[in-house]
């Protein structure tokens, strides 16, 4: 009897090829399209008119998923996780932005939706495993499952999977993690899958192609204020609400003048001031340590209270040499071998031992010369 694998089929090329590869490996494959956001409902709640002639991008993705399932001859189920997404992902996202921090909803979505709600649903169908189109790899040993970076470094998504635990990872397959994006595309083209040439999705799923600031204004009232050069105290322009900007941001400031490019280096919530400084390597952006909280170690245990490894402090950032010193079971001070630019509260710090993803947590505080850098 074949083992059953439930695949999260998103309507994109990666999950489509994942389904095919699992079929080739002899699994019984059932596909599930997850509906995590109700655009029509949220438009109604916000009083935003919607064009009934427009097709929601989510419906386009579902139609693409159905076309792939039909092409591969597999069953496609459609499941709503709208309530779970709102409670565990979107609410946190809004609360963090309201605090002036920069959250990562993809990490929460993986933790609570794709590898919790979806996993529970798959178990109810008698599945042995779930699978997704993530670019990552997993090794299932007798006593432990280990997550590795994808072969394609440019597409590696292990950063977003840092909050998975052993129970979740032990029941997960990543069928395309050993392939490059080009190889995945070629498989889809060879099979003549209807999504072979579909563009990769970008950005946050519930925002889609809409303007990010305009979307947030529906949930967090905007208040314009001054953009100030932190070194000269000169007013350079006006911001649209300091929660819309992140530390290290350069684009979208709409301020000119001499001194080259300017970067966001701080926020004063009480006075509603956004601080900027000139130059990519200015000292205002550099820090040498950080407090990381809500740490999840994928192995499920802390083998050493202090250890050296590498870390990423945002997606696509290069690895940095660090020393991790745990202060309790879920918090640690992380000391950088070299100062790092734009380490930002609210974002994720993810630990690696070469290709092994060890886990990660949330950046809570940032320090320089043992003094906390107050961004907010």
Active site positions, annotated: 109, 205
Tokens 């496609």, located at residue: 76
Which residues, at least 6 apart from 28, have a Cβ–Cβ distance to it below 8 Å? Answer: 2, 3, 4, 5
The strand pairing partners of 289, in sequence order, are 335, 367
Tokens 């006006």, located at residue: 238
- Torsion, Cα 164 295 160 207, to 10 degrees, reads 110
Planar angle of CA 27, 33, 36, nearest 5 degrees: 140
Tokens 């079971």, located at residue: 329
For residue 109, the SS3 value is helix
How many CB atoms neighbour CB 64 within 10 A?
21
Q: How far apart are CA 267 and CA 263, in angstroms?
A: 12
Q: Could you tell me where the beta strands, DSSP code E, fall in the chain? A: 4-8, 28-35, 75-80, 129-131, 136-140, 145-149, 172-173, 225-229, 235-239, 262-268, 273-278, 286-297, 306-312, 320-326, 332-341, 348-353, 356-368, 371-372
The strand pairing partners of 237, in sequence order, are 227
Q: Could you tell me where the beta strands, DSSP code E, fall in 115-247? A: 129-131, 136-140, 145-149, 172-173, 225-229, 235-239
Which residues, at least 6 apart from 150, have a Cβ–Cβ distance to it below 8 Å? Answer: 135, 136, 137, 156, 157, 158, 174, 177, 178
Which residues, at least 6 apart from 103, have a Cβ–Cβ distance to it below 8 Å? Answer: 92, 93, 96, 97, 346, 347
The answer to whether residues 255 and 276 touch, using CB atoms and an 8 Å cutoff, is yes
The answer to whether residues 278 and 262 touch, using CB atoms and an 8 Å cutoff, is yes
């Amino acid at each position: 009897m074949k083992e059953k694998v439930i695949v999260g089929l998103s309507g994109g090329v990666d999950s489509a090829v994942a389904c095919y590869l699992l079929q080739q490996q002899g699994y019984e494959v059932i596909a599930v399209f997850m509906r995590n956001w109700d655009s029509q409902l949220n438009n109604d709640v916000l009083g935003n008119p919607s064009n009934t002639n427009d097709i929601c991008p989510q419906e386009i993705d579902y139609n693409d998923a159905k076309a792939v399932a039909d092409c591969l001859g597999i069953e496609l189920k459609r499941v709503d996780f709208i309530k779970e997404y709102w409670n565990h992902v979107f609410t946190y996202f809004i609360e963090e932005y309201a605090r002036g921090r920069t959250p990562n909803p993809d990490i929460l979505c993986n933790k609570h939706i794709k590898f919790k709600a979806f996993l529970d649903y798959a178990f109810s169908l008698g599945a042995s495993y779930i699978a997704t189109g993530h670019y990552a790899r997993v090794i299932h040993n007798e006593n432990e499952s280990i997550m590795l970076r994808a072969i394609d470094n440019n597409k590696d998504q292990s950063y977003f999977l840092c909050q998975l635990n052993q129970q979740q990872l032990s029941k997960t397959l990543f069928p395309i993690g050993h392939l490059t994006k080009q190889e995945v595309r070629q498989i889809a083209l060879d099979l003549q899958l209807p999504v072979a040439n579909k563009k990769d999705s970008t950005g946050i799923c519930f925002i889609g192609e809409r303007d990010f600031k305009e979307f947030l204004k529906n949930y967090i009232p905007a208040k314009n204020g001054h953009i100030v050069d932190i070194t000269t105290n000169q007013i350079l322009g006006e911001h649209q609400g300091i929660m819309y900007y992140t530390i290290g941001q350069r684009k979208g400031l709409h301020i000119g003048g001499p001194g080259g490019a300017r970067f966001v280096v701080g926020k004063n919530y009480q006075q509603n001031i956004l601080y900027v400084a000139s130059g990519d390597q200015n000292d205002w952006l550099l820090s040498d340590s950080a407090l990381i909280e809500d740490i999840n170690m994928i192995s499920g245990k802390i083998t050493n209270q202090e250890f050296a490894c590498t870390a990423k402090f945002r997606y696509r950032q290069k690895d940095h040499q660090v020393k991790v010193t745990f202060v309790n079971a879920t918090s640690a001070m992380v000391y950088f071998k070299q100062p790092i630019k734009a380490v930002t509260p609210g974002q994720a710090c993810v630990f690696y031992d070469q290709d092994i993803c060890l886990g990660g947590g949330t950046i809570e505080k940032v320090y320089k010369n043992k003094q906390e850098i107050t961004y907010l």
